[in-house]
Structure 1
Amino acid sequence: MEQCELIVLHTSDIHGNILPINYGNNKQTNSGLAKLATVFKNILKTSDCTILIDNGDLIQGTPLTYHFAKHLNELSNPIVSVMNDLGYDGAVIGNHEFNFGQGLLKNAIRESKFPWLSANIVKKQTKEPAFGKPYFIKTFPNGLRIAVLGVTTHYIPNWENPDNILGLEFLDAFETLNKWVEYLQENEQYDLLIVSYHGGFERDLETGAPTEQLTGENQAYRMCMEIAGIDILLTGHQHRQLSTQLNGVLVAQPGHMGQAFSKVSIKLEKLKGSWTIVEKASDNIAIDETTEPDGKIVELTSPYEDSTQNWLDEPLGEIVGDMRVHSPLEVRKKDHPLIEFINKIQMDAAGVDISATALFHNGAPGLPNKVTMRDIVSNYVYPNTLKVITVSGQDIKDALEKSAEYFILDDEGEIHVNPSFESPKPQHYNYDMWEGIEYHIDISKSHGNRVTLLKYKGETLKLSDPFNIVVNNYRAGGGGHFNMFKGKPVKKEIQTDMTELIANYIQRHREIEASCNDNWSVLPLK
């Protein structure tokens, strides 16, 4: 009886991490494709039946990929060069693939020696898959045929700058997957079906209880329960590590930044001329300090890395006073010089007097006294642009109430972060802080009633009045479930990335005073 073992190596949400380095402080990390490459090449040497798949959110996320996109894009994409060297069989298009526009994405696809998959991202006019065939079939010398089908969360229009997705339509991922699985069953010959879905789970895998608002952003639970014929479902987007089975479907999700990868093992036997699955298992394997980065990958990346490091070390100006982040929670509880500074830059660029921004992640260090580009990208980690939108006073109040959901109060009156903003995926970027208005948020009040003070220019803000406000493009489109902003009139778009706006502002003023006017606070104060 003929037997074989299929090994599937699965990465997801790499977010531009090639070298094992934290660009904020240049310290070594246990992450990135260079370290994964060492492990992958050893596995590929010992197995003659392997598939290597990336599940999306690949080409954006580090200063290296940002610097490439903005300053070196006449060269080959460094991420694609690495994946070509590793021999990836395919990649799924993730939501962050569009952050730098379709031109850069299409160049990456053109340079790739592997297909990019997404069955549900189609051309708006023809409804054809926008980026080539949505699946591929890999045939091995022993006759084993593996089908790999890719889909992407269709929630992208709720986040992405509309200019970056012109001409595209994002069909429901579940419905599209159901259709294409039926197509494969009727039109192709294969022994095993792998679905790679850049999306995650909307329900608890054990109880089936909803774990988030059922918006359609994540549909993996429903895919497992309602679509017959999927053998393996590779997932991502939520930055979780999962390895289990659900309704007979083997499920894997490897986390993010290349800190781990999923290794799926499928044992098969050939019975009456057909391959049959006899055993399947998956495991997430973490990278640690014992794994050395692959020399070839380091060499491929070196020109981009050297240029990026020089760019990051460019001196820009000075901060007088303290604009560092000593406690992320405290920054979010009352006005802070860093947040006020970013809001002032947004207002300066937009020519309006009301602005909102966020402390995007808990690792944001704030700005030291002598500022370089490295300090800016350590705090502002997304390639956001700005939009001026016209909203009502009621919209502003509703947005403040939405942000107020970030906090909970324990039995002793202490303020904590709402667990839903930390799990299953950290969403600290969905708590906004405002400049140009005065407000208090009282966490002891019920949801929807926590804004206890709201003023504009010293007077109670009128809920029926219109206001021009500046926010980033993600928020302007309603991202983070800020539906009150969705579809509002856009008065102005500032297409320069915020990192560049911050750098230009500091260079122009050279010396910035760290100050804040204490226009807002979260109660109770302790």
Structure 2
Amino acid sequence: MSQTATIKIIYTSDIHGNAMPILYGTNEPANLGLAKYASIVKRARNENENILILDNGDLIQGTPLMTHYVKEHADKENPMVGIMNLLGIDAGVIGNHEFNFGKTVLQDAIDQSNYPWLSANLVNKQGEPYFGKPYIMKSLGNGVKIAIVGVTTHYIPNWESPGHIDGIQFRDALETLKTWVNYIREKEKPDLVIASYHGGFERDIETGQPTESLTGENQGYAMCQEIEGLDVLLTGHQHRILTGEINGVLIAQPGNNGKMYGSIDIEMKQLEKKWQVSRKEAEILSVGNIEPDPDVLNYMKEMETSTQQWLDLPTGYIDGDMMIQDPFKARVSKHPFIQFIQNVQLEASGADISVTALLNNESKGFQNVVTMRDIVSNYMYPNTLVVLELTGKDIKRALEKTAEYFDLDSNQTITVNPTYVTPKPQHYNYDMWEGLNYTIHVSKPIGSRVEDILYKGEPLQENNTYPVVMNNYRATGGGNYDMFKDKPVVKEIQKDMVELIHGYFEKYKTVKTEVHSNYTVKP
């Protein structure tokens, strides 16, 4: 009679610093975060003899809690790692946002972890894994041998500040995974191979049609098609909620911010002394209304209290209305909040042309009394600023790129181009410019929508150069702004935008709302 074994995998991805079940912008309770997830893990351990707990990256950045930790408490244990240690997870994978606070914060997090961090394609100059291990082996009940190999999207140098990734080589995730799966199958002879990939899918998982330009940022579909010997591919990065099979490979992706988690069940049968997968299925489940784990709440108490005190500190005042009622309208025509961000960037950099974006649709702008909570909930990324030397031609190309954000509906009304909404919202890739006057005609073909570009009242000259300030993500070409890649850097401002906004309020105390209506978006 053949033996059987049942294996449960539960995993998180793109937690983005969400430990507590609250939204820091409002302090309202929310069904998300590791405190709730911890209760689920404990229950799952009690119910399953053979269980693996994994994290797929983008763990340590994304909330005011983590911004405050890095600024004020970096000498203490990283709270996200501390919680994962409490949960006793088997492995973590390095995500792209792990680098946002620099290599020291990341290395400290890895050093504090009681579990390995996997990333086979992040290597040093000798080609050895830069952090942790490429893979681990686990032997579960009845002697089933499981390999878990981790890879990270190799597109990180297109986004990250060079100083944060110095000395790290980012090898192609697909090719690296293919090499390691072959090696593991040959050397370790596992019964089950799981890949945990901090990256997503470049094609529709059912039709195979491309869903984005094939830059290499996401390679999940190709991994399933091209790599033999892969049983399960755990993904993330895109913040999507997905399960399915591609070419016989079970795939999953559990959203973001700890609202959901992936639950995978695998049944194995032993035939002629060899274990084979007889059934595998994945589902994405909500953390829901489950009570947060008291051990995690107790562990977080001191850090959370400190974070809340910091967030409630008044830092400045607004004279006028700087609240955002409609994020779409705030992009179509200049909003006082956008004007404020442009003014901060111009003053910090000394440039006279500035580029910024409304980072997401949850940004509310500033009330009359501005606290740190308001600043970090409106500017949620730890971006620094870079001044690039751009030609007029580069600027024109960038304006045409940003003009792709708009579309016309059947009534010829301006709306958002669907590619900026699905499969992942990318509203942060629509830029607004200061220091130039320009007009976007949405009805015209993509690539020739922008007209009447003026600099100081004169037509922009294609061959002239202009210093332009923008955040470090955009300066490296992030968002497919390839025209910014490898351009001369005039200046780097090492303080992040939260610090710069705070410093602006410290200098001026009360900021009067204003708008320079320098651009027009027409049907």
Return the offset for 1:12.
0.3
Asked if residue 55 in structure 1 is aligned to residue 59 in structure 2, the reply is no
Return the offset for 1:364.
0.2
**Structure 1 match to 2:24:** 23
Please list every run of at least 4 consecutive aligned residues from structure 1 whose deviation after the TM superposition is greater than 4 angstroms: none
> Which stretch of structure 1 is more off in the superposition, 73-82 or 133-142?
133-142
Give a deviation string over 1:66-113, Cα, whole Å, max 9, x none: 111111000000001100111100001000000001111111111111
**Structure 1 match to 2:69:** 68
**Structure 2 match to 1:224:** 224
Secondary structure at the counterpart of residue 338 of structure 1: helix
Asked if residue 358 in structure 1 is aligned to residue 321 in structure 2, the reply is no
**Structure 2 match to 1:376:** 375
Cα-Cα RMSD: 0.8
Alignment of 1:28-427 (within 5 A): 28-123=29-124, 125-288=125-288, 290-427=289-426
Alignment-mate amino acid for residue 276 of structure 2: T
- Tell me if the contact between 1:441 and 1:453 (Cα under 8 Å) persists in the aligned partners: no
**Structure 1 match to 2:433:** 434
Distance 1:175 1:127 in 2: 14
Return the offset for 1:409.
0.7
- Tell me if the contact between 1:439 and 1:520 (Cα under 8 Å) persists in the aligned partners: yes
Alignment-mate amino acid for residue 434 of structure 2: E
Secondary structure at the counterpart of residue 332 of structure 1: helix
Return the offset for 1:296.
0.6
**Structure 1 match to 2:503:** 504
Give a deviation string over 1:407-444, Cα, whole Å, max 9, x none: 10112121111111111111111011111111111111
> Which stretch of structure 1 is more off in the superposition, 184-193 or 355-364?
184-193
Return the offset for 1:39.
1.1
- Tell me if the contact between 2:49 and 2:141 (Cα under 8 Å) persists in the aligned partners: no
Distance 2:423 2:482 in 1: 21
Structure 1: give runs of 5+ residues left out of the alignment.
none
Give a deviation string over 1:264-292, Cα, whole Å, max 9, x none: 0001122232222111111111122x211
Distance 1:189 1:59 in 2: 34
Alignment-mate amino acid for residue 19 of structure 2: I
**Structure 1 match to 2:15:** 14
Secondary structure at the counterpart of residue 8 of structure 2: strand
Secondary structure at the counterpart of residue 329 of structure 1: helix
Secondary structure at the counterpart of residue 142 of structure 2: coil
Distance 1:28 1:439 in 2: 43
Give a deviation string over 1:494-516, Cα, whole Å, max 9, x none: 00010110011012101101110
Distance 2:97 2:117 in 1: 14
Q: Identity of paired residues, percent?
A: 52
Secondary structure at the counterpart of residue 471 of structure 1: strand
Distance 1:327 1:272 in 2: 64
Alignment-mate amino acid for residue 153 of structure 2: T
Distance 1:207 1:292 in 2: 40
- Tell me if the contact between 1:389 and 1:489 (Cα under 8 Å) persists in the aligned partners: yes
- Tell me if the contact between 1:319 and 1:368 (Cα under 8 Å) persists in the aligned partners: yes
Residues matched between the structures, number: 522
**Structure 1 match to 2:5:** 4
- Tell me if the contact between 1:7 and 1:51 (Cα under 8 Å) persists in the aligned partners: yes
Return the offset for 1:333.
0.3
- Tell me if the contact between 2:232 and 2:251 (Cα under 8 Å) persists in the aligned partners: yes
Structure 2: give runs of 5+ residues left out of the alignment.
none
Give a deviation string over 1:15-51, Cα, whole Å, max 9, x none: 0001111000000111111111111110111111000
Secondary structure at the counterpart of residue 453 of structure 2: strand
- Tell me if the contact between 2:390 and 2:465 (Cα under 8 Å) persists in the aligned partners: yes
Secondary structure at the counterpart of residue 233 of structure 2: strand
Alignment-mate amino acid for residue 317 of structure 1: G
Secondary structure at the counterpart of residue 310 of structure 1: helix
> Which stretch of structure 1 is more off in the superposition, 265-274 or 495-504?
265-274
Distance 2:403 2:287 in 1: 37
Distance 2:36 2:315 in 1: 33
Alignment-mate amino acid for residue 159 of structure 2: W
Return the offset for 1:145.
1.2
Return the offset for 1:373.
0.5
**Structure 1 match to 2:470:** 471
**Structure 2 match to 1:495:** 494
Give a deviation string over 1:350-396, Cα, whole Å, max 9, x none: 01111010000000000000100100111101000000110011111
Asked if residue 448 in structure 1 is aligned to residue 451 in structure 2, the reply is no
Give a deviation string over 1:111-163, Cα, whole Å, max 9, x none: 1111000000001x211111122000011242111100000110000000000
Alignment-mate amino acid for residue 209 of structure 1: Q
TM-score, scaled relative to structure 2:
0.99
Alignment-mate amino acid for residue 173 of structure 2: A
TM-score, scaled relative to structure 1:
0.98
Secondary structure at the counterpart of residue 81 of structure 2: helix
Secondary structure at the counterpart of residue 18 of structure 2: coil
Alignment-mate amino acid for residue 323 of structure 2: R
Alignment-mate amino acid for residue 83 of structure 1: M
Distance 1:470 1:97 in 2: 25
